[in-house]
Structure 1
Amino acid sequence: MKNFIPAELKRLTWTSFVLLALSISLWSNRELVAEFKVPHALTIHTALETATIIIFASVFIVCWNAFGELRKRSSLILAVTFLCAAIFGFFHIISFQGMPGFTEPIDMHKSLSFWLLSRSLITFTLLGLVIHTADIDVPNHFAQLSIYLGLLATAAVTLLVFQAPEILPITYLKDIGQTSFKVHCEIVLVVTNSITAFLFYQQVFATKNLSVEGHLKIKRSLLFFAAAMMAVSETYFSLYRLPDELFVAIGHAFQVFAALAIYRGMVGINIHAPYSSLIESTQHLQSAADELRIHKQRLTGVIETAMDGILTIDDQHKIILVNPAAASIFGYTVNDLLGSSIEVVIPMRHRHVHGHHVNQFGERGTTRRKMGSSFDDYYVTGLHANGSEFPIEASISSLIENNKRFFTVIFRDISERKLAKEKMAQYHSELSQLSSALQSIREEERKHIARELHDDLGQLLAALRMDLSLLQREQNLSDRSRRTLTSMDQLLLTSITTLRRIATDLRPRALDEGGLFFALQTLQKEFSQRHGVHCDLIADEEQLILDDEKSTAIYRIIQESLTNVARHAKASHVNIQFSRSHDVLSFIIQDDGRGIEEGAMNKTRSFGLVGMRERIKAMQGEFKVQSEVGKGTQIQIQIPLLNPIKMGNPPNLQHSISADLHH
């Protein structure tokens, strides 16, 4: 890929090379050129230096005043530098040998000292500008203090040069001209300016930008040219011996070129920047207007084609915007609704409070909310053109424009959804009732089967064992017969034990004979013995005096929870704790097992949890499961009691049940 060089940088580079080549030809013939004397050299020198001072003063004015209270470090440094350089340049003019009052050789030394101070300030400031590009804000009081300190330092140096010029190394000797110190200083300035020019050139070439936009706009291509011209001019000033030589005039000419480039690179671009910004702002405004028109067309298209109704009213509740969907929902045309009162689409029974609610919404400062009173059903009632009412799901928002408040409602007809929801709620209620009825029927069947097993089959087995016992007492039985009878007795005993366990699982007799407390004690002991899991039951008998329906439901819930702990939890300890406060019974079942994995509680085949939830729901209770993998499971249950018993002051514990459930 070919390197890209900006056209302006290319022109300035060629100009610099041409002038440098011309200068080299003059430097190579220094003895010949030195013979040419410039008539009225003092006048020409003064005019060119005055032009340079005026340009430097202009740079100071722009860098200081163009930004008011907002200043950056770069603009402050440039302002102080060019002000001090202009002052030193002025004293360089007035102290030049040949000016009125300054005719001694020492005056030429003073003048050249001011010259070196002025040009050194410019040279090293430009070098700093190209090296250090970062910028920071400068407070106004600090900027003013910097100007005062710069002026104070300039005055002190000026006084020192005038009162004690010998304190500085001599720069000029009569009949000899410039000293080696002056020439060496010029060489340092030439090298520094050359480096600065090279760095400016690299910046422009690397960024392919001729200017850097920011707090102070700088055209770096022109500063490259200025540094190059300053290097050339300092070379001329290092070659002359007498003030009227041609080299002095040429050096001043190049100095003016450099000053003009600095002016154009710093002052000109900042003076023209407001006009350029104005043109850019106008173009930007036109572009923004076009974009706004496109957005407006797009917004209009969205509103016109929206499936939901959109309606806007003013603070007088007059409709000022309505889309076709909204008009169709109410059974009107768009023209019918525009300009009419919002009350035409509100049922008569709601009109007297509607205006108050809308105004109250605006006064609260809320910008938007859903309409309606319940969390589940954000709907209000609308009025068809034929007088029929229908449910609407709506949200309202407000905004203030030109000190007037406008309200926008976005809504949709949810008649079908509401009907479907009501049917779903009815089906859910019927299913809950069916589930409750099935649970009751199941418990009755269990109770009946358990009673039949215990009372009938159990008694038959017991009678059979008694008969077998009488048979074993016969003396004339053979050993083989006795062994057979003993085996039969063991089988009958095992059958009776199995029968009792099955009957207890179907319906524990302790629940009917001793109540819930004793039934849970029996369940606790059997669970610990059968599964080897330590189980604690923390409850009072007085707390668990309940009707048969609640006692059975609570027993089955705890039984199901313990079954799940035994099957899935791999727990070593289970804690069951009851608390009763006023008309609420709370209980907790908590284990230290492996917990329930995320998503396992919502499995469609988790019938254990579903059954527990249905039992709790049938009693209008609350059911909550908390589980963390590796830290066990806790189930929290609260059951309202319609006929609370009088108790002392039972502890007000948050009910909770804990079990590890994996169904």
Structure 2
Amino acid sequence: MHEYSTVRDFRYIGIASALLLVSSIFLWLNYPTVSSYSVPYPLAIHTALETATIVLFVSVFIVCWNAFGERRNRSSLILAVAFLCAAVLGFFHALVFQGMPGFEQNNAMHQSLSFWLGSRFIVTFTLLGLALKPSDKLVSNLHSSLSLVVGLSLTIALSVLIFTLPEVLPSTYDTQTGQTSFKIASEILLVVLNLISSLYFFRQIPAFNGTRLNDLLELNRGYLCFASLMLAISEIYFSLYRYSTEAFVLIGHIFQLLSALAIYRGMVAINIHAPYAFLIKNTSQLQDTADELLLNKQRLAGVIETAMDGILTVDDQFKIILVNPAAARVFGYEVDQLIGQSLDLVIPMRHRKVHTQHVKEFGNHGTTRRQMGTSFEDFYVTGLHADGSEFPIEASISSLVEHGRRFYTVIFRDISERKIAKEKLAQYHNQLSQLSAALQSIREEERKHIARELHDDLGQLLAALRMDLSLLQRDHAMTEKSRLTLGSMDQLLLTSITTLRRIATDLRPRALDEGGLFFALQTLQKEFAQRHGVNCELIADEEQLILDDEKSTAIFRIVQESLTNVARHAKASHVEIYFERDNELLKLQIKDDGRGIEEGAMNKTRSFGLVGMRERIKAMNGTFNLSSTVGKGTLIEVEVPLPIEHLDNPTPS
């Protein structure tokens, strides 16, 4: 609509400009004939036209100064001050022109034309400045007030000078010849300046028509182009007349009034009508918004109707006001059967009171969203089917206040199958844990048995064989070659016995059964340091490690597996094994300064060593934590609870 109006105004302005220009050329070509006509009642006509121009200039001042409250930019400030000063000078020109009562003087025409030239130069330079600089910055209220005071002060000073000392100003009128050369030169300058302004405004029409100066003053540059062109034409007519009664004076005033009307239309009228245009535009936008809201409402209703999850809304009296088909289907009702019913209809009897209090507290605390029933171990949100059976619900609740009333909306789903699957999964997990613990126990028993067999049976046989070999070596009839062979066999038997003891110790260290956990860990520490050349430090008290056989075996295996991993992968130079114990907890830390473990390697499915350690700790209801930084080593932290009945003179840490 606005673009159409701009094109239409531009077309009308162009047509009017062309017609007026053609008419002016026709009048200029018939100068002798036109100049011979005299205007009847010139004083009244000229005064009326000048007064109309002054009123229009004052309107421009009012709009540019006050149309947007206390906000204004420098361009609108200059326009306001300039047109007010031009109106003041135009008013004095109208008083003095042709000897108005009280202003009859010999040089009245000179004074009148001086006022008139001052007014025209102000308007011309103002339009030229606006054409050259179309935008500006905001100014403060103090700056605006000072500018207005300075502009009016200079205008009053010029008026006083023209009234009191008109002879000091260049002559503008001669009683013998009419207009002076200074007057004609001023007219020519005004014509040139107005044509330049008109050209600039014409070039700015496509970019600036219907726009604002910094969102403050809206200007129509098509009308301002027309105004500058009319001012230029009027200046030509004002430069042609000799006496004030000639028709050219009237024609010049008419073109001047057309220019003032164009300025009024381009600055004042567009800003007066802007709020109404804005209202019309907003009304259209409001209708579009209403249509969009209706569409969104229909879309939202469709989403609620087709949602797979149940959606249910209740008011502050817990009456159901909205329910979607999915919710009704979950509870075993039809939608119409639930609307208007109490929420208690779908809540088991034993939960109704507690649930109501819970929802009220939720609303009073100001929380707008809360998720409920997501813990598989605590299904405290329970629904009630139409047939009386109960089922678990996973739900989220939100509240909204409308017109002082609070409404609650619940989005939920039936998780009966998920609960059953979770319970089965937990059961399978417990069974696997029990199986793992049983396998660990069986493996330890097998290790203990194999170690005992190796040590007691095979070890004794090898020892007896070595004793027999030693007796055989004492035979003096044996040759030297046989002695060397027997010596080699003795070394092989000694190596076999050492290897057998090491294997038996790895399977089940006798120190663990004979001396306890502390002695077994000391032996493991020394053997590890000797075998791998790694500085291994054990920080513990013997009293701290007095545990039952199950826990002693598990702790020993964890330390043994950790040291094995250090020897295989860590490339460490120092390992620290630290124990701390209080009345209820045994803490173990195994720390090395090796290359660490990459994050992805910790969760590899083939990391059976770590899996075994975790399973041993889980069987004792303990906690296992592994942390590692690449290049900075690995830390294993174990905490094992110690029931009071298992304590034997514990030493507090």
Place the TM-score, normalised by the shorter chain, in its bin: 0.7 to 0.9
CA contact (8 A) 1:211 1:220 kept: no
Q: CA deviation at 1:191?
A: 4.6
- 2:528 touches 2:534 (CA, 8 Å); kept in 1? yes
Name the counterpart of 2:205.
204
Structure 2 residue matching 1:599: 3-state secondary structure: helix
* Cα displacement string for residues 314-372 of structure 1 (whole angstroms, at most 9, x for unaligned residues): 11111111222222211222222221211111111112222222221111111121234
1:330–1:383 contact (8 Å) kept in structure 2: yes
- Cα gap change, 1:19 to 1:583, in 2 (>3 Å): same
1:497–1:26 CA distance, 2 compared to 1 (3 A): farther
Q: Could you say what secondary structure the match of 2:311 adopts?
A: strand
Equivalence map 1:190-339=2 (5 Å): 190-206=191-207, 210-212=210-212, 214-237=215-238, 243=244, 247-339=248-340
Q: Which residue of 1 aligns with 2:407?
A: 406
Q: Deviations for 1:583-606, whole angstroms, at most 9, x for unmatched residues?
A: 223333334444433433333333
The answer for the alignment partner of 1:626 in structure 2 is 627
Q: Which residue of 2 aligns with 1:80?
A: 81
Tell me how far apart the structure 2 counterparts of residues 542 and 427 of structure 1 sit (CA, whole Å). Answer: 39
Distance in 2, matches of 1:204 and 1:480, equals 125
The CA deviation string for residues 268-325 of structure 1, in whole angstroms up to 9 with x for no partner, is: 2222223323322332232222222222222222222222222111111111112222
Q: Distance in 2 between matches of 1:375 and 1:251?
A: 94
Q: Are the counterparts in 2 of residues 517 and 544 from structure 1 also a CA contact under 8 Å?
A: yes
Residue 496 of structure 2 corresponds to 495
Question: How big is each residue's C-alpha offset from its partner over 1:478-512, in whole Å with a ceiling of 9 and x where there is no partner?
Answer: 44333333333333333233323322322233333
Instruction: Kindly state the Cα deviation for residue 89 of structure 1 after the two structures are TM-superposed.
Output: 2.3
- Judge conservation of contact 1:311–1:319 (CA < 8 Å) in 2: yes
- Residue 295 of structure 2 aligns to which amino acid in structure 1? I
Please provide the CA RMSD for this pair: 3.6
Secondary structure, in 3 states, of the residue corresponding to 1:435? helix
What TM-score, normalized by structure 1, do the two folds share? 0.85
2-structure distance, mates of 1:281, 1:188: 46
Q: Distance in 1 between matches of 2:530 and 2:129?
A: 90
Q: Give the structure-2-normalised TM-score.
A: 0.86
Distance 1:568 1:136, change over 3 A: farther
Give the distance between the partners of 2:149 and 2:410, measured in 1 at CA: 64
CA distance in 2: counterparts of 1:163 and 1:396, whole angstroms: 87
Q: Partner letter of residue 205 of structure 1? A: P
| Counterpart AA for 1:617 | K
Rounded Cα–Cα distance in structure 2 between residues aligned with 1:233 and 1:483: 142
Question: Which whole-Å CA distance do the structure 2 matches of 1:424 and 1:599 have between them?
Answer: 26
Distance 2:380 2:111 in 1: 93
- Counterparts of 1:534-573 in structure 2, within 5 Å, are 534-573=535-574
Indicate whether 1:65 and 2:72 are aligned.
no
Secondary structure of the residue aligned to 2:308 is coil
SS of equivalent residue, structure 2 residue 436: helix
CA 1:186–1:583: 2 relative to 1, 3 Å: farther
Query: Aligned to 1:391, what secondary structure does the other structure show?
Result: strand
Q: Equivalent residues in 2 for 1:139-178 (5 A)? A: 143=144, 147-163=148-164, 175=176
* AA aligned opposite 2:518: F
What secondary structure is seen at the aligned counterpart in 1 of 2:94? Answer: helix
Alpha-carbon contact 1:315-1:404 (below 8 Å) kept: yes
In structure 1, the residue matched to 2:636 is 635
Tell me, what secondary structure is at the counterpart of 1:317?
Answer: coil
2:579 paired residue number: 578
**Alignment-derived partner of residue 415 in structure 1:** 416
Mapped to 2, the partners of 1:119 and 1:329 lie a distance apart of 85
Between 69-78 and 266-275, the greater mean CA deviation after superposition: 69-78
Q: Which residue number corresponds to residue 347 of structure 1?
A: 348
Partners of 1:133 and 1:383 lie apart in 2 by 73
Please list the CA deviations of residues 99-119 of structure 1 after superposition, one character each: whole Å capped at 9, or x if unmatched.
444455755554444444434
1:577 partner letter: Y
Distance in 2 separating the partners of 1:550 and 1:419: 35
Q: Which amino acid aligns with 1:369?
A: R
- 1:105/1:174 contact within 8 Å kept: no
Say if 1:466 and 1:171 are closer, same or farther in 2 by CA, change over 3 A.
Answer: farther
Structure 1 CA distance, aligned partners of 2:589 and 2:132?
Answer: 75
Aligned partner of 1:607 in structure 2 is: 608
Q: Secondary structure of 2:401's partner?
A: strand
Contact 1:310 1:408 in 2 (8 A): yes
Equivalent position SS for 2:397: strand
- Which moved further from structure 2: 587-596 or 335-344? 587-596
Q: Which amino acid aligns with 1:409?
A: V
* Structure 1 residues 481 and 406: CA distance shift in structure 2, 3 A: same
What letter matches 2:361 in structure 1?
Q
CA contact (8 A) 2:624 2:636 kept: yes
Q: Distance in 1 between matches of 2:547 and 2:131?
A: 92
Do the aligned partners of 2:591 and 2:634 also contact (CA within 8 Å) in 1? yes
Q: Contact 1:105 / 1:172 at 8 angstroms: preserved in 2?
A: no
Report how far residue 70 of structure 1 moved.
Answer: 5.1
Question: Percent of aligned positions with the same letter in both sequences?
Answer: 67
What is the distance in 2 between the residues matched to 1:173 and 1:566? Answer: 121
1:421 deviates by 0.9
Q: How far, CA to CA, are the matches of 1:627 and 1:337 in structure 2?
A: 58
**What secondary structure sits across from 1:637 in the alignment?**
strand
Deviation at 1:68, TM superposition (A): 3.3
- Distance in 2 between the 1:463 and 1:197 partners? 129
CA distance in 1, matches of 2:25, 2:649: 118
- The aligned amino acid for 2:427 is Q
**Structure 1 residue 156: deviation in Å?**
4.3
Q: CA separation of 1:39/1:518 partners in 2, compared to 1, >3 Å: closer, same or farther? A: farther
The reply to whether residue 456 of structure 1 matches residue 454 of structure 2 is: no
Q: Does 1:98 align with 2:99?
A: yes
Give the AA of the match of 2:618: K
On the 8 A contact 1:212/1:219 being kept in 2, the answer is no
Residue 362 of structure 1 aligns with an amino acid whose one-letter code is G
Quick one: structure 1 residues 418 and 32, their matched pair in 2 at CA, closer, same or farther if it must change by over 3 Å? same
How far does residue 624 in structure 1 lie from its aligned partner after superposition? Answer: 2.8
Larger deviation, residues 430-439 vs 513-522: 513-522
Q: What are the residue-to-residue correspondences of 1:463-482 with 2, within 5 Å?
A: 463-482=464-483
Q: What is the distance in 1 between the residues matched to 2:9 and 2:24? A: 22
What is the distance in 2 between the residues matched to 1:36 and 1:258? Answer: 24
Deviations 1:76-118 (A, max 9, x none): 4433333233223222332446344445575555444444443
The structure-2 alpha-carbon separation of the partners of 1:167 and 1:479, relative to structure 1 and needing over 3 Å to count, comes to: farther
Letter in 1 for 2:584: D
Counterpart CA distance in 2 for 1:634 and 1:267 is 82
CA distance in 2 between counterparts of 1:91 and 1:356 reads 84
Q: How many residues align?
A: 646
Seen in structure 2, the aligned counterparts of structure 1 residues 257 and 514 have a Cα distance that, compared at 3 Å, is farther
